[in-house]
Chains A and B, each alone.
Chain A
Amino acid sequence: MRRYTRTLGRLWSASLFAEMEYRTNFVVAALNGIGTLAGTIFTLSLFYRDGFLIGGWVWTQALFIIGCFTFLDGFQAAFLGPNFQRFSEYIREGTLDFVLLKPIDSQFFVSFRNLSLWGIPNLVLGPLLILYAGFRNDPPVPLVDYLVGALALGLGTVMLYAMGFFLVTFTIWFVKLWNITIALQSIIQAGRYPISSYPPAYRFVLTYLVPVLFLTTVPAEAFSGRSETVWILGAAGLATGLLLACRLFYLFALRSYTSASS
């Protein structure tokens, strides 16, 4: 376990040092995070003119969902994006061989090797917005709801990772497929609004085909103290199932990996 945390520390500081070469990028990344959040809140406010409630949610409750989305978006940009892109390079160039030889779990290594600074602003801004919405909420959110919400958001993060990794595993067979994660990323955009704000056909897709419901709606409900235990248990079950599925699928796919030379 300690070996894993130490390896992570080294890998991430190496990633950040590499990005230090382009120092203006730090400023651009911060502006990017702040600008995107401002734009998202502006767009949300357009729904609230003239007394309309999006999906029946009041303003602070909707801010929770934006906070959850921003956090997941940051996680996606910091970890999933750069590592999954790298993964398709390993397959194309056959360098996955070297990863497999390392004395560390290969799925762990390929999933978390890189840390991109583009995601970091959102990883910070998301929780800050959740805290702000918690103070503004009427009544202010008690500590226990923060804990349940954080748990639900953590489960959402696990699900997002598992779904992404499941899809990227397909590149072992169809080398040039990492774009599939971009497609997933685009559907996740639907998580900016509560599931109840969509027409029925959308709700079906966002619940059963791509469980966006569990990524942002369920955690946001937990933060605003409206969640039921059954939803959290469901999220825990689904997260475990998806994680297990992506692990088994990866191990199965590795059997078909033939490296570049053979």
Chain B
Amino acid sequence: MRATLRKANTYLSVQYAAMLEYRMEIFLWAISTLLPLIMMGPWIVAGESGRFPMDAAGFARYFIAAFIVRQFTLTWVIYEFEFQVVSGRLSPYLLHPVDPVWRFVAAHLGEHLARLPFVIALIAAALALFPQALYDSGGGLWLPPMERIILTIFGIYGAFTLRFVIQYSLALLAFWFERVSAFDRLVMIPYYFISGLIAPLEVMPEEVQAVILWTPFPYMVWFPARLLSGGGGLDPWRGFAVVGLWIVGLTLLNRLLWRRGLKHYSAMGA
């Protein structure tokens, strides 16, 4: 147990230090994920009309929360893994006594940490743009209660795990196909439109909502963002149960692909 913790600590600090080298790039990446804050604009105006299930402040809170969730769930393992398999650089890592996946996980967590200062600055800018998000309908200060913040943190890391397992499973297909990042592009299409990144589920037709809730997508943005911003008839436990089921199922698939893929990889002699 202690040895594992020590390894985890080393991996994380190494990857965090590596990411700090790219501060400027990470800042630009943070800018490139502004989409929820852009979408906040038309939805605030729509909310002011009073024809939607949320008011302007509700939309603002939701999209700021979605922005936060997105910052801590960004995943790029497929690009790294594809490169390592095609170029053969995966081979030395296979000789390490630790599964290479942990290196990728640590790199992602390190990058999220390096991103933190920019994220805080951008949230402050968003709140400056629309300070009403901080006040409740009575004019008092609006803050999420402590237990919701804790639930949100679990929700965000559940979302990250889900997104990571999906992308890593697709990445494992690199043992058989080249250019697997194209598969991830296809998965990204529903992710963009039904995860809650550009519109909260509540504004969608009910039949559509019912279907979407069975897919893993809304649990990657909408569910944690709702936990943080509150509102909506959300049942956190049901949400966590669905996230857990998806993670377990996909992890099993992932391990199967990994075993089969490794055989294929060495068989290629790469």
Contact = CB atoms under 8 A, between A and B. Distances in A.
Interface of A: 22, 24-25, 28, 31-32, 35-36, 39-40, 42-43, 46-47, 49-52, 54-55, 174, 176-177, 179-180, 182-183, 185-187, 189-190, 193, 197-199, 201-202
A43 B198 contact: yes
Contact of A186 (B24, B31, B183): B31
A239 B38 CA distance: 24
B203 A197 contact: no
Given A179-B25, A179-B32, A185-B32, A54 B42 contact: yes
B186 interface: yes
B41 A198 contact: yes
Given A50-B52, A186-B34, A39 B41 contact: no
Nearest to B204: A46
Contacts of B130: 199
B34 A187 contact: yes
B32 A199 contact: no
A42 B193 contact: yes
A59 to B, nearest CB: 15
Nearest to A174: B24
A99 B183 CA distance: 34
Contact of B49 (A36, A52, A193): A52
Q: Is the interface of A mostly helix, strand, loop or mixed?
A: helix
Interface of B: 22, 24-25, 28-29, 31-35, 38, 41-42, 44-46, 49, 51-52, 129-130, 178-179, 182-183, 185-186, 189-190, 192-193, 198-199, 203-205
Contacts, number: 95
B46 A54 contact: yes
B45 A51 contact: no
12 contacts: A32-B186, A36-B189, A39-B190, A39-B192, A49-B51, A51-B51, A180-B28, A182-B32, A186-B31, A186-B32, A187-B34, A202-B129
Nearest to A186: B32
Contacts of A176: 22, 24-25
Given A22-B182, A46-B203, A186-B34, 4 more contacts: A39-B189, A43-B198, A186-B31, A190-B41
B42 A183 contact: no
B52 A25 contact: no
Please name the 9 residue pairs, one residue from A and one from B, whose CB atoms are nearest each other, closest first: A39-B193, A179-B28, A183-B31, A35-B189, A198-B41, A202-B41, A186-B32, A197-B42, A50-B51
A47 B46 contact: yes
A75 B183 CA distance: 22
Contact of A32 (B44, B46, B179, B189): B189
Interface centre among A25, A46, A185 (most CB of B within 10 A): A46
Given A39-B193, A190-B38, A201-B129, A49 B186 contact: no
Contacts of A174: 24
A47 B48 CA distance: 13
Contacts of A179: 25, 28-29, 32
A206 B135 CA distance: 27
B110 to A, nearest CB: 18
B28 A183 contact: yes
Nearest to B208: A42
B24 A43 contact: no
A46 B185 CA distance: 24
A177 B24 contact: yes
A28 B186 contact: yes
A235 to B, nearest CB: 22
B46 to A, nearest CB: 6
A189 to B, nearest CB: 6
B80 to A, nearest CB: 16
